[in-house]
Structure formats: structure tokens, C-alpha cells
Amino acid sequence: MDSSLTQNPAEYPENRAIVRLRPKAEARAIRHGFPWVYADELVLDRRTNGLAAGTLAVLEDAERRPLGLVTVNPKSKIVARMLDRDPAAQIDQSWFEARLQRAMALRSRLFPTPHYRLAHAEADGLPGIVIDRFGDTAVVQPNAAWAEALLEPLVAALVSVTGVTTVVKNGSGRSRSLEGLAEEIVVVHGTAPDGPLPVPMNGATYMADLVGGQKTGLFFDQRDNHAFTAKLAKGARVLDVFTHVGGFALASLAGGAASALAVDASAPALALAEAGAKASGFENFSTRQGDAFAVLEALATEGAQFDLVICDPPAFAPAKPALEAGLRAYERIARLAAPLVAPGGYLVLCSCSHAADLSSFRNASARGIGRGGRRGQILHTGFASADHPVLPQLAESFYLKALTFRLDG
């Protein structure tokens, strides 16, 4: 243990609350970097249960030795999240600035334009906080109670470190509901964007709706997988299923695809995809609205064939209870997509479900391809781009997988 940590509870600042692990809880995992404490691992007495969601507290092991500073939400399954190894740390604007400066140093080195995920929650030392940057505008997702409570110093630090002029709070999604937080999307600094923002990426221009779109408006995590797929797209007929705002389709056209058909259930998303194609100067781009499974079945009935097919669905297995059903859905997608790939063509299958590990997803995809009457080889396995770092101790931060198959006749 770090001897510099405060040992005497009387030395904790501002009469800071203390929470304690149960005697049988594994303190070693926390010491080695695991950032969460589950409800069944913490002593939840009347005092702890009475703490307001987002309260800062010193976490101690069963022998009353400090492990660090955590934020507590007695209403959440993840009852405590590690913020700082120093239990006396002050979580203020300066603290946020230090974390954000470290995060931005990495992104600035990797990306030539200021369009990237700036903060990737636990992996960047900001549990439950996601920040995507779109030039002079940033979108913050405070997905944990402590982030909601300290939004003001977080936003002040974000503006100070990056110089952004507009900050949008996107308070929506499953994570917030699990924390007992209300949903709202509101501009918390500056003025609302005047319509979708153009975002250059991989030779294409994507249109991101930061106020009315899905999540933060654009999925930066697929950047590297878009780039790899574009290498296969020259002269190809491309089908991009679950395209969102153009996803793989626009990147493929930038890579020289002969044509691209983008499929999504959302009419607003397809409208943004069309606007992106226009802004990019792509004329050989078309869309088809509808349920992905139904569209895949219809395309097979129509005898359609493509040289490159990409399926990038939402998380079919967002948590372990949904794993079995999610793997069946991934298998079905592969089964329906495989027959649409021309002999010698390519099939890209993606999963953003952290509950479905790489091996399980790969097996489900291979079964589906086989059930679709095809065989193939895996050419490439892709993951989230480097602005979505992985915390080694937290499997949930390793979520995105992209498998590229070349299929035989």
C-alpha cells in the first residue's frame, strides 16, 4: 500500500464520509486497479444507505485501511466508483483539468483534427463520463450520479482545457437510468449548434446532430474499422446495414467504392447520411429505410449481390442476462447477410456488446455464415480506435469487435 495515503480518518477533509468493504470482499482487485465496488461487496448499513447519490467517500477495506476516494450511489448496482487513489483528493475544477489535459494530450497526438472521443469514462480516470469533441463543440454524457452532481466544475474544466465554445449535456441512455438519473439534453455552455455539424473523417464528411441524434451524434469508435474496410472497397458494390449517419458506406465511397446502399430503421439518421454523402461529393449513394432483418431478407428475395457487406448493429447483448438472445441475433445477422456477398467478396460483422466477448461473437458469426451456406476466412479483427482506450482491469471497456471475412463461392 502507498504509505502516502491518509491513514487517520480524522485527517480526511471536510469530515468526509467513510464506506467499508465487507470482510469477504476482495480488496486486492481494487488495489490492482479495478474501479468498481458492487452492492454486495460494501457494508450497506443505515448510514451508507442514507448517503446521497454521488457522495464522495473514503473507501476502506475490512481492516479499516484506506483504498482511495470513491463516489457512492446506494441506489446503483455499482455502489462505489474509484475516483482517486488519494482519499484526501479534492474533486474540483483543477482535478478535472488534470484528467482532461492528460486525455487531450493523447488525442492531439493521434488525430490531426479536433474530432474525437476526449474522455472514455473509467479508462481515462473519469468514471461514468463520456466526452466527444466536435471542433469547437463538445458533448458530455454524465452517466453516473457524481458526474451529474459535479457537472459545473467538469464543464468549466472542459472549456478551460480545450477552448470549446459550446458544451451540450446529453443526459440520455441506459446507464443513466441504472443510476436513477433523469433524461435531458440541454446546452450547458455557449449556444446550441445551428443544425448538424460536418465532421471530416477517413476522407468523407459526416453530419453529426449533437442535440437530436443518437448518443453524442457520431460514433468515433469505428474510425479505424472504417479505414480498414475502405481498403477493400475500391470498385465494390457496398451494402452498409445499421448505417446510422453513413458509417461504413461513406468511408467505402471515399475508398473508391462503385456504389453504396445504406440501410437503417431511422429516417432522420438516413437523412443525415444523405447530407453527408452530398457534402462529400458522392453521387453513387442510396438509402433504404426499414428493419435490418427484414431488409436483408428482402434483398435476398430480390437476388441482390454485393462485393462488400457490413453489419454494425446496436448492442444485442448490453448485459449478461441478454447474452444468449444477443448471440442468437448476431448469428441471425450473419446468416442473412452471408448469401448477399458475391463470391470472393467480403463480410464485416460488428458487435458493441461488452457482454459478448470476442470468442463468443466470433463463434456466433461463423455459425451464422455456415448456416447461410457460405464459408470463409477471417482477414482482420478490429477494435475501437485509440480515442476509446481500454482499462485492462475492466472488461466492460473492451466492447467493440469488428470481424472481416472473405467468403468463398
Q: CA 292, 338, 243: angle at the middle one, nearest 5?
A: 35
Are 18 and 39 in contact by the 8 Å Cβ rule? The answer is no
21: how many CB neighbours lie within 10 A of its CB? 21
Per-residue confidence (pLDDT) for residue 2, from 0 to 100: 43
Which has the closest alpha carbon to 314: 333, 297, 338, 337?
333
129: region left, alpha or beta (phi > 0 left; psi from -120 to 50 alpha)? beta
Buried b (16+ CB within 10 A) or exposed e, 93-107: bebbbebbeebbeeb
Per-residue confidence (pLDDT) for residue 6, from 0 to 100: 45
d(CA 237, CA 342): 10
pLDDT in tens, 250-304: 999 999 999 999 999 999 999 999 999 999 999 999 999 999 999 999 999 999 9
The residue that leads in pLDDT, 408 or 160, is 160
Per-residue confidence (pLDDT) for residue 3, from 0 to 100: 38
Enumerate the active-site residues. 352
Q: How confident is the model at residue 179 (pLDDT cuts 50, 70, 90)?
A: confident
pLDDT in tens, 3-27: 334 456 656 776 899 999 999 888 8
Instruction: Lowest mean pLDDT of 82-96, 100-114, 204-218, 225-239, name the range.
Output: 204-218
Instruction: Lowest mean pLDDT of 1-5, 45-49, 331-335, 394-398, name the range.
Output: 1-5
DSSP states of 320-334: GGGHHHHHHHHHHHH
d(CA 149, CA 152): 8
Per-residue confidence (pLDDT) for residue 14, from 0 to 100: 67
Domains of the chain: 9-84 (2.30.130.10), 93-189 (3.30.750.80), 200-407 (3.40.50.150)
Q: How confident is the model at residue 35 (pLDDT cuts 50, 70, 90)?
A: very high
The residue that leads in pLDDT, 117 or 24, is 117
Q: Which neighbouring-strand residues pair with 72?
A: 55, 80
